[in-house]
Structure 1
Protein backbone atom coordinates (compact mmCIF):
# COMPACT_ATOMS: atom_id res chain seq x y z
CA UNK A 1 0.00 0.00 0.00
CA UNK A 2 2.76 2.46 0.94
CA UNK A 3 4.70 1.76 -2.27
CA UNK A 4 1.56 2.20 -4.37
CA UNK A 5 0.75 5.46 -2.58
CA UNK A 6 4.26 6.83 -3.06
CA UNK A 7 4.19 5.81 -6.73
CA UNK A 8 0.81 7.47 -7.31
CA UNK A 9 1.91 10.62 -5.48
CA UNK A 10 5.12 10.72 -7.50
CA UNK A 11 3.28 10.39 -10.83
CA UNK A 12 0.80 13.09 -9.84
CA UNK A 13 3.62 15.39 -8.71
CA UNK A 14 5.52 14.90 -11.97
CA UNK A 15 2.38 15.64 -14.00
CA UNK A 16 1.85 18.80 -12.00
CA UNK A 17 5.49 19.79 -12.44
CA UNK A 18 5.25 20.08 -16.24
CA UNK A 19 5.64 23.87 -16.84
CA UNK A 20 3.26 24.24 -19.77
CA UNK A 21 3.34 28.04 -19.68
CA UNK A 22 7.11 28.03 -20.06
CA UNK A 23 7.07 25.34 -22.75
CA UNK A 24 4.35 27.02 -24.81
CA UNK A 25 6.04 30.44 -24.59
CA UNK A 26 9.38 29.02 -25.73
CA UNK A 27 7.71 27.11 -28.58
CA UNK A 28 5.51 29.96 -29.79
CA UNK A 29 7.53 33.09 -28.96
CA UNK A 30 10.97 31.70 -28.31
CA UNK A 31 11.07 33.49 -24.94
CA UNK A 32 11.30 32.56 -21.29
CA UNK A 33 7.94 33.69 -19.92
CA UNK A 34 9.51 34.13 -16.49
CA UNK A 35 11.35 37.18 -17.80
CA UNK A 36 8.20 39.02 -18.90
CA UNK A 37 5.10 40.50 -17.32
CA UNK A 38 4.62 39.20 -13.80
CA UNK A 39 7.25 36.49 -14.29
CA UNK A 40 4.66 33.81 -13.56
CA UNK A 41 4.33 30.67 -15.73
CA UNK A 42 0.54 30.52 -15.48
CA UNK A 43 -2.26 31.33 -17.90
CA UNK A 44 -2.65 35.00 -16.96
CA UNK A 45 0.94 35.86 -17.76
CA UNK A 46 0.77 33.65 -20.85
CA UNK A 47 -2.15 35.81 -22.01
CA UNK A 48 -0.11 38.97 -21.46
CA UNK A 49 2.90 37.62 -23.31
CA UNK A 50 1.28 35.59 -26.12
CA UNK A 51 -2.34 36.70 -26.41
CA UNK A 52 -5.75 35.24 -25.56
CA UNK A 53 -5.49 32.02 -27.55
CA UNK A 54 -2.23 30.91 -25.96
CA UNK A 55 -3.46 32.03 -22.54
CA UNK A 56 -6.51 29.79 -22.89
CA UNK A 57 -4.32 26.92 -24.11
CA UNK A 58 -2.03 27.19 -21.08
CA UNK A 59 -5.07 27.37 -18.76
CA UNK A 60 -6.53 24.19 -20.28
CA UNK A 61 -3.21 22.37 -20.06
CA UNK A 62 -2.76 23.35 -16.41
CA UNK A 63 -6.35 22.34 -15.62
CA UNK A 64 -5.62 19.03 -17.35
CA UNK A 65 -2.73 18.36 -14.97
CA UNK A 66 -5.06 18.49 -11.99
CA UNK A 67 -7.69 16.37 -13.73
CA UNK A 68 -5.08 13.75 -14.66
CA UNK A 69 -3.78 13.77 -11.09
CA UNK A 70 -7.20 12.65 -9.85
CA UNK A 71 -7.47 10.15 -12.71
CA UNK A 72 -4.18 8.57 -11.62
CA UNK A 73 -5.38 8.53 -8.02
CA UNK A 74 -8.61 6.76 -8.91
CA UNK A 75 -6.68 4.22 -10.95
CA UNK A 76 -4.60 3.29 -7.90
CA UNK A 77 -7.24 3.71 -5.17
CA UNK A 78 -10.77 3.63 -6.67
CA UNK A 79 -12.46 3.09 -3.29
CA UNK A 80 -10.27 5.31 -1.08
CA UNK A 81 -11.50 8.95 -1.11
CA UNK A 82 -8.83 10.19 1.29
CA UNK A 83 -5.99 8.70 -0.74
CA UNK A 84 -7.53 10.04 -3.95
CA UNK A 85 -7.44 13.52 -2.44
CA UNK A 86 -3.91 13.10 -1.14
CA UNK A 87 -2.64 12.09 -4.56
CA UNK A 88 -4.59 14.91 -6.20
CA UNK A 89 -2.92 17.49 -3.96
CA UNK A 90 0.45 16.40 -5.30
CA UNK A 91 -0.45 17.70 -8.78
CA UNK A 92 -0.96 21.14 -7.25
CA UNK A 93 2.27 20.83 -5.28
CA UNK A 94 4.05 19.95 -8.51
CA UNK A 95 2.69 23.02 -10.28
CA UNK A 96 3.63 25.37 -7.43
CA UNK A 97 7.03 23.80 -6.72
CA UNK A 98 8.04 22.18 -10.00
CA UNK A 99 10.88 19.68 -10.09
CA UNK A 100 11.82 21.10 -13.50
CA UNK A 101 11.99 24.72 -12.29
CA UNK A 102 14.18 24.23 -9.22
CA UNK A 103 11.07 23.94 -7.02
CA UNK A 104 9.49 27.18 -8.14
CA UNK A 105 6.36 27.48 -10.26
CA UNK A 106 2.94 29.04 -10.60
CA UNK A 107 0.09 29.93 -8.25
CA UNK A 108 -1.79 26.63 -8.58
CA UNK A 109 -5.19 28.09 -9.52
CA UNK A 110 -5.81 26.28 -12.83
CA UNK A 111 -4.39 22.98 -11.56
CA UNK A 112 -6.60 23.25 -8.46
CA UNK A 113 -9.59 23.82 -10.73
CA UNK A 114 -8.71 20.64 -12.63
CA UNK A 115 -8.64 18.63 -9.42
CA UNK A 116 -11.89 20.08 -8.15
CA UNK A 117 -13.80 19.76 -11.43
CA UNK A 118 -13.56 16.00 -11.09
CA UNK A 119 -14.61 16.07 -7.43
CA UNK A 120 -17.20 18.84 -6.96
CA UNK A 121 -18.26 20.29 -10.34
CA UNK A 122 -21.32 22.17 -9.02
CA UNK A 123 -19.35 24.01 -6.37
CA UNK A 124 -16.61 24.89 -8.83
CA UNK A 125 -19.15 26.28 -11.31
CA UNK A 126 -20.31 28.79 -8.68
CA UNK A 127 -16.72 29.68 -7.78
CA UNK A 128 -15.93 30.20 -11.47
CA UNK A 129 -18.89 32.57 -11.90
CA UNK A 130 -17.75 34.62 -8.89
CA UNK A 131 -14.16 34.63 -10.20
CA UNK A 132 -15.30 35.79 -13.65
CA UNK A 133 -17.42 38.62 -12.20
CA UNK A 134 -14.57 39.87 -10.01
CA UNK A 135 -12.11 39.79 -12.92
CA UNK A 136 -14.58 41.52 -15.25
CA UNK A 137 -15.25 44.30 -12.73
CA UNK A 138 -11.76 44.86 -11.28
CA UNK A 139 -9.52 43.55 -14.11
CA UNK A 140 -7.43 41.81 -11.43
CA UNK A 141 -7.16 38.06 -12.08
CA UNK A 142 -5.23 37.63 -8.85
CA UNK A 143 -8.02 39.19 -6.78
CA UNK A 144 -10.58 36.91 -8.39
CA UNK A 145 -8.35 33.91 -7.75
CA UNK A 146 -7.81 34.80 -4.08
CA UNK A 147 -11.50 35.36 -3.38
CA UNK A 148 -12.43 32.29 -5.43
CA UNK A 149 -9.97 30.19 -3.43
CA UNK A 150 -11.58 31.37 -0.21
CA UNK A 151 -15.00 30.33 -1.51
CA UNK A 152 -13.93 26.82 -2.51
CA UNK A 153 -14.32 25.04 0.86
CA UNK A 154 -17.48 27.03 1.62
CA UNK A 155 -19.18 26.06 -1.64
CA UNK A 156 -18.08 22.42 -1.39
CA UNK A 157 -19.70 22.33 2.06
CA UNK A 158 -22.89 24.05 0.88
CA UNK A 159 -23.22 21.56 -1.98
CA UNK A 160 -23.30 18.73 0.58
CA UNK A 161 -20.11 17.08 -0.58
CA UNK A 162 -18.24 14.65 1.72
CA UNK A 163 -16.39 16.21 4.64
CA UNK A 164 -13.08 14.97 3.28
CA UNK A 165 -13.74 17.03 0.12
CA UNK A 166 -14.36 20.12 2.24
CA UNK A 167 -11.03 19.56 3.97
CA UNK A 168 -9.38 19.14 0.58
CA UNK A 169 -10.98 22.37 -0.60
CA UNK A 170 -9.55 24.10 2.45
CA UNK A 171 -6.08 22.77 1.61
CA UNK A 172 -6.41 24.06 -1.94
CA UNK A 173 -7.55 27.41 -0.58
CA UNK A 174 -4.40 27.59 1.56
CA UNK A 175 -2.14 26.55 -1.34
CA UNK A 176 -3.61 29.11 -3.72
CA UNK A 177 -3.65 32.03 -1.30
CA UNK A 178 -0.13 31.24 -0.11
CA UNK A 179 1.02 31.13 -3.72
CA UNK A 180 -0.49 34.60 -4.24
CA UNK A 181 1.48 36.28 -1.44
CA UNK A 182 3.39 38.52 -3.90
CA UNK A 183 0.11 39.45 -5.61
CA UNK A 184 -1.49 40.34 -2.28
CA UNK A 185 1.38 42.70 -1.53
CA UNK A 186 1.04 44.32 -4.95
CA UNK A 187 -2.74 44.63 -4.58
CA UNK A 188 -2.31 46.37 -1.24
CA UNK A 189 0.31 48.72 -2.68
CA UNK A 190 -1.67 49.38 -5.87
CA UNK A 191 1.02 47.99 -8.18
CA UNK A 192 -0.63 44.74 -9.27
CA UNK A 193 -0.86 44.12 -13.03
CA UNK A 194 -4.32 44.24 -14.59
CA UNK A 195 -5.52 41.77 -17.21
CA UNK A 196 -6.00 44.65 -19.67
CA UNK A 197 -2.32 45.53 -19.68
CA UNK A 198 -1.51 46.09 -23.32
CA UNK A 199 2.27 46.33 -23.40
CA UNK A 200 4.32 43.52 -21.93
CA UNK A 201 7.56 44.68 -20.41
CA UNK A 202 10.50 42.54 -19.50
CA UNK A 203 10.53 41.70 -15.81
CA UNK A 204 13.00 43.73 -13.76
Structure 2
Protein backbone atom coordinates (compact mmCIF):
# COMPACT_ATOMS: atom_id res chain seq x y z
CA UNK A 1 0.00 0.00 0.00
CA UNK A 2 1.45 3.34 -1.12
CA UNK A 3 0.61 5.65 1.78
CA UNK A 4 2.06 8.78 0.13
CA UNK A 5 0.06 8.29 -3.09
CA UNK A 6 -3.09 7.61 -1.09
CA UNK A 7 -2.59 10.79 0.95
CA UNK A 8 -1.98 12.91 -2.16
CA UNK A 9 -5.11 11.59 -3.89
CA UNK A 10 -7.21 12.02 -0.73
CA UNK A 11 -6.21 15.69 -0.65
CA UNK A 12 -6.84 16.02 -4.40
CA UNK A 13 -10.35 14.54 -4.01
CA UNK A 14 -11.18 17.08 -1.30
CA UNK A 15 -9.80 19.99 -3.32
CA UNK A 16 -11.78 18.96 -6.40
CA UNK A 17 -14.92 18.79 -4.30
CA UNK A 18 -14.13 22.25 -2.91
CA UNK A 19 -14.58 23.88 -6.32
CA UNK A 20 -17.50 26.20 -5.51
CA UNK A 21 -19.29 26.15 -8.83
CA UNK A 22 -22.33 28.21 -7.80
CA UNK A 23 -20.25 30.93 -6.14
CA UNK A 24 -17.77 31.26 -8.99
CA UNK A 25 -20.43 31.15 -11.71
CA UNK A 26 -22.57 33.72 -9.90
CA UNK A 27 -19.66 36.12 -9.49
CA UNK A 28 -18.27 35.63 -13.00
CA UNK A 29 -21.48 35.86 -15.05
CA UNK A 30 -24.04 37.61 -12.81
CA UNK A 31 -21.90 39.79 -10.56
CA UNK A 32 -23.42 38.39 -7.37
CA UNK A 33 -22.40 36.14 -4.53
CA UNK A 34 -25.07 33.42 -4.53
CA UNK A 35 -24.63 33.07 -0.76
CA UNK A 36 -26.09 36.55 -0.27
CA UNK A 37 -29.37 35.64 -1.98
CA UNK A 38 -32.16 33.14 -1.56
CA UNK A 39 -31.37 30.56 1.09
CA UNK A 40 -27.74 31.65 1.29
CA UNK A 41 -26.62 28.22 0.15
CA UNK A 42 -23.99 27.82 -2.58
CA UNK A 43 -25.40 24.81 -4.37
CA UNK A 44 -27.60 23.94 -7.33
CA UNK A 45 -30.82 24.33 -5.33
CA UNK A 46 -30.22 27.98 -4.52
CA UNK A 47 -28.85 28.63 -8.01
CA UNK A 48 -32.08 27.35 -9.58
CA UNK A 49 -34.05 29.49 -7.15
CA UNK A 50 -32.08 32.72 -7.59
CA UNK A 51 -30.65 32.60 -11.12
CA UNK A 52 -32.98 30.24 -12.96
CA UNK A 53 -32.87 27.13 -15.09
CA UNK A 54 -29.74 27.55 -17.22
CA UNK A 55 -27.24 28.49 -14.49
CA UNK A 56 -28.89 26.05 -12.10
CA UNK A 57 -28.47 23.23 -14.61
CA UNK A 58 -24.85 24.23 -15.27
CA UNK A 59 -24.03 24.20 -11.56
CA UNK A 60 -25.74 20.86 -11.08
CA UNK A 61 -23.91 19.20 -13.99
CA UNK A 62 -20.49 20.56 -12.99
CA UNK A 63 -21.02 19.50 -9.38
CA UNK A 64 -21.99 16.02 -10.57
CA UNK A 65 -18.84 15.93 -12.71
CA UNK A 66 -16.52 16.93 -9.88
CA UNK A 67 -17.99 14.17 -7.70
CA UNK A 68 -17.32 11.70 -10.51
CA UNK A 69 -13.73 12.91 -10.93
CA UNK A 70 -12.96 12.83 -7.19
CA UNK A 71 -14.29 9.27 -6.92
CA UNK A 72 -12.56 8.09 -10.09
CA UNK A 73 -9.18 9.09 -8.68
CA UNK A 74 -9.31 5.81 -6.76
CA UNK A 75 -8.64 4.04 -10.06
CA UNK A 76 -5.17 5.57 -10.08
CA UNK A 77 -4.38 3.71 -6.87
CA UNK A 78 -5.01 0.42 -8.65
CA UNK A 79 -3.18 1.54 -11.81
CA UNK A 80 -0.06 2.48 -9.85
CA UNK A 81 -0.41 -0.51 -7.50
CA UNK A 82 -1.06 1.68 -4.47
CA UNK A 83 -3.87 -0.66 -3.35
CA UNK A 84 -5.10 -4.14 -4.20
CA UNK A 85 -7.89 -4.23 -6.84
CA UNK A 86 -10.33 -5.83 -4.39
CA UNK A 87 -10.12 -2.68 -2.24
CA UNK A 88 -11.14 -0.35 -5.06
CA UNK A 89 -14.77 0.14 -3.98
CA UNK A 90 -13.74 1.07 -0.44
CA UNK A 91 -11.34 3.73 -1.70
CA UNK A 92 -13.89 4.97 -4.22
CA UNK A 93 -16.28 5.52 -1.34
CA UNK A 94 -13.64 7.30 0.73
CA UNK A 95 -12.54 9.58 -2.10
CA UNK A 96 -16.10 10.27 -3.16
CA UNK A 97 -16.97 11.15 0.43
CA UNK A 98 -13.99 13.52 0.54
CA UNK A 99 -15.29 15.17 -2.63
CA UNK A 100 -18.72 15.61 -1.05
CA UNK A 101 -17.08 16.92 2.12
CA UNK A 102 -15.18 19.45 0.02
CA UNK A 103 -18.41 20.62 -1.57
CA UNK A 104 -20.08 21.10 1.81
CA UNK A 105 -16.98 22.67 3.42
CA UNK A 106 -14.93 24.18 0.55
CA UNK A 107 -11.52 25.42 1.57
CA UNK A 108 -11.59 28.06 -1.20
CA UNK A 109 -14.74 29.72 0.19
CA UNK A 110 -14.13 29.74 3.95
CA UNK A 111 -15.73 26.31 4.35
CA UNK A 112 -19.21 27.59 3.45
CA UNK A 113 -20.58 25.46 0.64
CA UNK A 114 -23.58 23.60 -0.66
CA UNK A 115 -25.38 20.49 0.51
CA UNK A 116 -23.50 18.01 -1.64
CA UNK A 117 -26.33 16.19 -3.41
CA UNK A 118 -25.15 16.74 -6.99
CA UNK A 119 -21.58 15.85 -5.99
CA UNK A 120 -22.94 12.74 -4.27
CA UNK A 121 -24.71 11.75 -7.50
CA UNK A 122 -21.43 12.14 -9.37
CA UNK A 123 -19.76 9.92 -6.80
CA UNK A 124 -22.37 7.21 -7.24
CA UNK A 125 -22.21 7.63 -11.02
CA UNK A 126 -18.55 6.59 -10.85
CA UNK A 127 -19.29 3.55 -8.67
CA UNK A 128 -22.73 2.33 -9.84
CA UNK A 129 -23.50 4.22 -13.08
CA UNK A 130 -26.78 2.49 -13.96
CA UNK A 131 -28.31 3.01 -10.51
CA UNK A 132 -26.94 6.56 -10.36
CA UNK A 133 -28.50 7.43 -13.73
CA UNK A 134 -31.82 6.13 -12.45
CA UNK A 135 -31.44 8.38 -9.40
CA UNK A 136 -30.70 11.36 -11.63
CA UNK A 137 -33.83 10.56 -13.64
CA UNK A 138 -35.82 10.39 -10.40
CA UNK A 139 -34.41 13.76 -9.37
CA UNK A 140 -35.40 15.36 -12.69
CA UNK A 141 -38.90 13.88 -12.59
CA UNK A 142 -39.51 15.06 -9.02
CA UNK A 143 -38.07 18.50 -9.83
CA UNK A 144 -40.26 18.98 -12.89
CA UNK A 145 -43.36 17.67 -11.11
CA UNK A 146 -42.93 19.61 -7.86
CA UNK A 147 -40.44 22.39 -8.75
CA UNK A 148 -38.76 21.63 -5.40
CA UNK A 149 -35.04 20.97 -5.90
CA UNK A 150 -34.72 19.95 -2.26
CA UNK A 151 -37.45 17.31 -2.60
CA UNK A 152 -35.84 15.93 -5.75
CA UNK A 153 -32.46 15.81 -4.02
CA UNK A 154 -33.75 14.00 -0.94
CA UNK A 155 -35.77 11.53 -3.03
CA UNK A 156 -32.83 10.72 -5.30
CA UNK A 157 -30.50 10.24 -2.33
CA UNK A 158 -32.92 7.76 -0.75
CA UNK A 159 -33.49 5.97 -4.06
CA UNK A 160 -29.83 4.98 -4.38
CA UNK A 161 -29.56 2.53 -1.45
CA UNK A 162 -33.13 1.33 -1.98
CA UNK A 163 -32.40 0.43 -5.61
CA UNK A 164 -29.28 -1.43 -4.52
CA UNK A 165 -31.47 -3.67 -2.39
CA UNK A 166 -33.18 -4.98 -5.53
CA UNK A 167 -31.83 -8.37 -6.75
CA UNK A 168 -30.97 -6.89 -10.15
CA UNK A 169 -28.61 -4.27 -8.72
CA UNK A 170 -27.51 -5.83 -5.44
CA UNK A 171 -23.72 -5.29 -5.27
CA UNK A 172 -21.30 -7.98 -4.17
CA UNK A 173 -19.94 -5.68 -1.49
CA UNK A 174 -22.70 -4.82 1.06
CA UNK A 175 -20.66 -1.86 2.30
CA UNK A 176 -22.01 0.11 -0.67
CA UNK A 177 -25.60 -0.31 0.55
CA UNK A 178 -24.65 0.64 4.11
CA UNK A 179 -22.73 3.65 2.84
CA UNK A 180 -25.70 4.63 0.68
CA UNK A 181 -28.01 4.80 3.68
CA UNK A 182 -25.40 6.74 5.67
CA UNK A 183 -25.09 9.29 2.87
CA UNK A 184 -28.86 9.57 2.66
CA UNK A 185 -28.86 10.37 6.38
CA UNK A 186 -26.25 13.08 5.74
CA UNK A 187 -28.37 14.52 2.90
CA UNK A 188 -31.45 14.52 5.12
CA UNK A 189 -29.47 16.23 7.87
CA UNK A 190 -28.15 18.97 5.58
CA UNK A 191 -31.69 19.46 4.25
CA UNK A 192 -33.44 19.52 7.63
CA UNK A 193 -34.52 23.16 7.20
CA UNK A 194 -35.85 22.37 3.73
CA UNK A 195 -37.76 19.38 5.10
CA UNK A 196 -39.35 21.57 7.77
CA UNK A 197 -40.34 24.14 5.12
CA UNK A 198 -41.73 21.41 2.85
CA UNK A 199 -43.88 20.09 5.70
CA UNK A 200 -45.06 23.62 6.50
CA UNK A 201 -45.71 24.38 2.82
CA UNK A 202 -43.18 27.24 2.92
CA UNK A 203 -40.40 25.86 0.70
CA UNK A 204 -39.54 28.08 -2.27
CA UNK A 205 -40.05 26.60 -5.70
CA UNK A 206 -37.27 26.65 -8.26
CA UNK A 207 -37.49 28.92 -11.27
CA UNK A 208 -37.11 26.39 -14.07
CA UNK A 209 -38.66 28.36 -16.90
CA UNK A 210 -36.35 29.38 -19.70
CA UNK A 211 -35.45 33.02 -19.87
CA UNK A 212 -36.70 33.91 -16.43
CA UNK A 213 -34.58 34.98 -13.50
CA UNK A 214 -35.15 36.21 -10.02
Would you say same fold, with TM above 0.5? yes
Distance in 1, matches of 2:179 and 2:75, equals 16
1:95 aligned counterpart, secondary structure: helix
Q: How does 1:94-133 map to 2 (within 5 A)?
A: 94-133=102-141
Alignment of 1:1-204 (within 5 A): 1-77=2-78, 79=85, 80=87, 81-158=89-166, 159-161=169-171, 162-196=173-207, 200=214
- Give the TM-score taking structure 2 as reference length: 0.85
Q: Give per-residue Cα distances to partners, 1:141-162, cap 9 Å, x unaligned.
A: 1112112211211112321223
Deviations along 1:67-110, whole A, 9 cap, x unmatched? Answer: 11112121124522212211111000110111122222111111
Change (3 A) 1:187 1:106: same
- TM (norm. structure 1) is 0.89
Q: CA RMSD in A?
A: 1.9
Q: What is the alpha-carbon distance in structure 1 between the residues aligned to residue 185 and residue 5 of structure 2?
A: 27
Query: How many angstroms apart in 2 are the aligned matches of 1:21 and 1:199?
Result: 15
Distance across 1 between alignment mates of 2:78 and 2:184: 24
**Which residue matches 2:82?**
none
Unaligned runs of 5+ in 1: none
